[in-house]
Amino acid sequence: MSSKYEVVIGLEVHVQMTTKTKIFCGCSTEFGAEPNSHTCPVCLGLPGALPVLNKQAVEYAIRTGVATGCQIAPKSVFDRKNYFYPDLPKGYQISQFGLPICEHGHLDIETEQGGKKRVGITRIHMEEDAGKSMHGDRPGTESYSFVDLNRACTPLVEVVSEPEMSSAEEAVAYMKALHQIVVYLGVCDGNMDQGSFRCDANVSVRPWGQKELGTRAELKNINSFRFVKQAIEYEVERQIDLIEDGGKVVQETRLYDSVKGTTRSMRGKEEAHDYRYFPDPDLVPLVVSEDWVARVKSELPELPQAKRLRFAEQLGLSEYDADVLSSERALAEYFDALVALHNEPKICANWIMGEILGALKEKGQGIESCPVSPERLAGMLARIKDGTISGKIAKTVFQHLWESEKSADAIIEEQGLKQVTDTGAIEAIIDEIVAANMDQVEQFRAGKDKVLGFFVGQVMKASKGKANPGAVNKLLMQKLKG
Ligand code: ADP
Ligand code: MG
Ligand code: ZN
């Protein structure tokens, strides 16, 4: 790629909110129901039906705004965005235009090439989603199109960034950071396959040093991190090639083709006046009190970035461990709960990231369905710490913790897994093994230190792993040196 050009990217991310019902009616937002079964006169756009704003959707929009450092508008307005499309039964979409609910926020990202960076959030506004058109999705219906209005009127927040990202990598980092936050907040289920989190990427290039932004293309409806990266990279190259060949980028809406990995023109870019925005006379202005905002602020959970920092700086985890353990709210909460019971953060992190995540991955499950509670795991860690069991035997205990509901103590007792620290018992085993392997004893005495490992192995095996390794080592040295 030519370095003569600076890349400029701004993202518009559509976040579907997790409210049980739609934004202006009481219909269910459940995904995957029989087409058009979750509809009513309001979301079907029947004449005379009136919208009523869902309070929970407002709560979620405020939460998203507060978590991204936005100012929450004391008064915001719903507007009609007029356009005609089969999946938009009213002939307009209710959105917010001039007075959105949140403005002037930011998101901090970090990339390998660009380092740390703060990306401005211009605005976050609330709107309703459109329905879905499906083209010949049943056998024999190839020449028909169907409209499913279950999704019509489901609540969205659209998060609009400043044109401040300068690579596909930064755009992906931004999208991931935002995704993590809205899922943490419980505002969005984060399911990108179902379209709960999708973005339009605005991309332009300009010669380095040029003040004005280049003409942008808007890449529509991208629903995976990988596709965002591919689509932007392709588009940047296309624009640079075009300019280098003496052409001009035209402002347009383009569609990303994930199969070909290319973008293609869909339509000329519409301007705001094309939509004939005007305030929706069926909805009064939305007034949000300072108290409401203050309450949401006070209830905000610790966000992933703050968690990551705390794990690394206060609990001494490596950057990598802090990253993994803060990536998901439930995982971070599990870790915090475990550390509260067993104050050895690194050891806790190792067990979670090794045994727990490993076992869950094998089952294809998340931390929510982990059969070993922090309490039971902490019970086992305490027995490692006080020397009742060795780290090796602990893996066996963990297996039983996973498969039963018993406590570590009960398992250790029942299975006879207590570590043998009684030197008499260990000495007896050592004597037997030394006597049976005199050749190796000679080798050791002749200076072949490695043979020690052989003896340790034999003793551990004979004790079924229960001999205290420290004691074994010490006693063996004494015996072998003779
Ligand atoms: P719309 O696309 O709905 O007309 P805006 O004009 O407000 O809305 O722009 C939307 C997005 O496009 C924002 O994220 C903004 O940062 C980004 N954007 C605007 N101009 C450019 C540009 N020249 N290059 C890249 N991104 C841009
Ligand atoms: Mg746009
Ligand atoms: Zn409805």
Ligand 1 centre to CA of 218 (Å) is: 8
Q: List 9's β-bridge partners, or say none.
A: 165, 203
Say if ligand 1 is within 6 A of residue 95 CB: no
Query: In ligand 1, which atom is closest to the CA atom of 214?
Result: 23
Q: Out of 6, 8, 11, 12, give the residue to mutate to test ligand 1, the one with the largest number of ligand atoms within 8 Å of its CB.
A: 12
In 3-state terms, what secondary structure has residue 248?
coil
Say if ligand 1 is within 6 A of residue 163 CB: yes
More confident residue, 28 or 270: 28
For residue 161, give the ligand nearest its CA. Answer: 1
Report pLDDT digits (tens) over 43-91.
999 999 999 999 999 999 999 999 999 999 999 999 999 999 999 999 9
Distance from first CA to last CA of the chain, Å, rounded?
A: 71
Q: What is the mean pLDDT of residues 22-34?
A: 95
Question: What pLDDT is stored for residue 187 in this prediction?
Answer: 97
Looking at the chain, the number of H-run helices and the number of E-run strands are 16, 16
Ligand 2 centre to CA of 200 (Å) is: 7
For residue 45, give the ligand nearest its CA. Answer: 3
Q: What is the mean pLDDT of residues 161-168?
A: 97
Question: What pLDDT is stored for residue 97 in this prediction?
Answer: 96
Residue 420 has pLDDT above 80, yes or no: no
Ligand 2 centre to CA of 270 (Å) is: 9
Q: Name which residue sits closest to atom 3 of ligand 1, judged by CA.
A: 272
Q: How far apart are CA 53 and CA 138, in angstroms?
A: 36
Helix (H) or strand (E) holding 326: helix 319-326
Residues whose CB is less than 8 angstroms from the CB of residue 183 and which lie 6 or more positions away in sequence, other chains included: 189, 190, 328, 329
pTM: 0.85
For residue 272, give the ligand nearest its CA. Answer: 1
Counting residues of the chain whose pLDDT is more than 90, the rounded percentage is: 76
**Six-digit token string for 422:** 């009684």
Ligand 3 centre to CA of 147 (Å) is: 15
Q: What is the mean pLDDT of residues 95-109?
A: 97
Query: In ligand 1, which atom is closest to the CA atom of 218?
Result: 2
For residue 150, give the ligand nearest its CA. Answer: 3
Q: Name which residue sits closest to atom 13 of ligand 1, judged by CA.
A: 10
Question: What pLDDT is stored for residue 106 in this prediction?
Answer: 98
Query: In ligand 1, which atom is closest to the CA atom of 215?
Result: 23
Q: How far apart are CA 473 and CA 124, in angstroms?
A: 64
Q: Mean pLDDT in the chain?
A: 93
**Six-digit token string for 408:** 């570590």
**Six-digit token string for 39:** 């509809």
Report pLDDT digits (tens) over 385-417.
988 888 888 999 999 999 999 999 999 988 888
Ligand 2 centre to CA of 161 (Å) is: 11
Question: What pLDDT is stored for residue 449 in this prediction?
Answer: 84
**Six-digit token string for 237:** 């190259």
Q: Out of 210, 216, 219, 240, give the residue to mutate to test ligand 1, the one with the largest number of ligand atoms within 8 Å of its CB.
A: 216
Q: List 48's β-bridge partners, or say none.
A: none
Report pLDDT digits (tens) over 304-327.
999 999 999 999 999 999 999 999
Q: Could you tell me the sign of the dihedral formed by the alpha carbons of 72, 73, 78, 82, in that order?
A: negative
**Six-digit token string for 13:** 């991310």
Ligand 2 centre to CA of 219 (Å) is: 9
Ligand 2 centre to CA of 9 (Å) is: 12
Q: Name which residue sits closest to atom 11 of ligand 1, judged by CA.
A: 10
Q: How far apart are CA 423 and CA 174, in angstroms?
A: 59
Report pLDDT digits (tens) over 344-389.
999 999 999 999 999 999 999 999 999 999 999 999 999 999 888 8
For residue 206, give the ligand nearest its CA. Answer: 1
Q: How far apart are CA 467 and CA 420, in angstroms?
A: 5
- Point out the least confidently predicted range of 33-42, 176-185, 263-272: 263-272
Residue 114 has pLDDT above 90, yes or no: no
Question: What pLDDT is stored for residue 1 in this prediction?
Answer: 46
Q: Could you tell me the sign of the dihedral formed by the alpha carbons of 413, 416, 419, 424, in that order?
A: positive
In 3-state terms, what secondary structure has residue 346?
helix
Say if ligand 1 is within 6 A of residue 218 CB: yes
Say if ligand 1 is within 6 A of residue 161 CB: yes
Q: In angstroms, what CA-CA distances link 140 with 71, 136, 335, 384?
A: 53, 8, 53, 65
Question: What pLDDT is stored for residue 466 in this prediction?
Answer: 81
Q: List 253's β-bridge partners, or say none.
A: 218, 267
For residue 221, give the ligand nearest its CA. Answer: 2
Say if ligand 1 is within 6 A of residue 10 CB: yes
Report the half-sphere exposure of 132 (CA within 13 A, side-chain side).
17
Query: In ligand 1, which atom is closest to the CA atom of 161?
Result: 14
Would you list the DSSP string of 133-155? EEES-STT-TT-EEEE-SSTT-E
Distance, CA of 325 to chain centre: 11
Say if ligand 1 is within 6 A of residue 322 CB: no
Counting residues of the chain whose pLDDT is more than 70, the rounded percentage is: 99
Q: What is the mean pLDDT of residues 454-461?
A: 89
Question: What pLDDT is stored for residue 462 in this prediction?
Answer: 86
Say if ligand 1 is within 6 A of residue 232 CB: no
Question: What pLDDT is stored for residue 271 in this prediction?
Answer: 76
Ligand 2 centre to CA of 228 (Å) is: 15
**Six-digit token string for 12:** 């518009």
All structural domains of the chain, each given as residue ranges with its CATH number in brackets, are 5-292 (no CATH), 301-415 (no CATH), 423-481 (1.10.10.410)
Nearest to 156 by CA among 18, 25, 281, 259: 18
Q: How far apart are CA 287 and CA 272, in angstroms?
A: 25
Say if ligand 1 is within 6 A of residue 202 CB: yes
Q: Could you tell me the sign of the dihedral formed by the alpha carbons of 110, 113, 118, 124, in that order?
A: negative
Residues whose CB is less than 8 angstroms from the CB of residue 132 and which lie 6 or more positions away in sequence, other chains included: 87, 147, 148, 150, 151
Q: Out of 14, 178, 202, give the residue to mutate to test ligand 1, the one with the largest number of ligand atoms within 8 Å of its CB.
A: 202
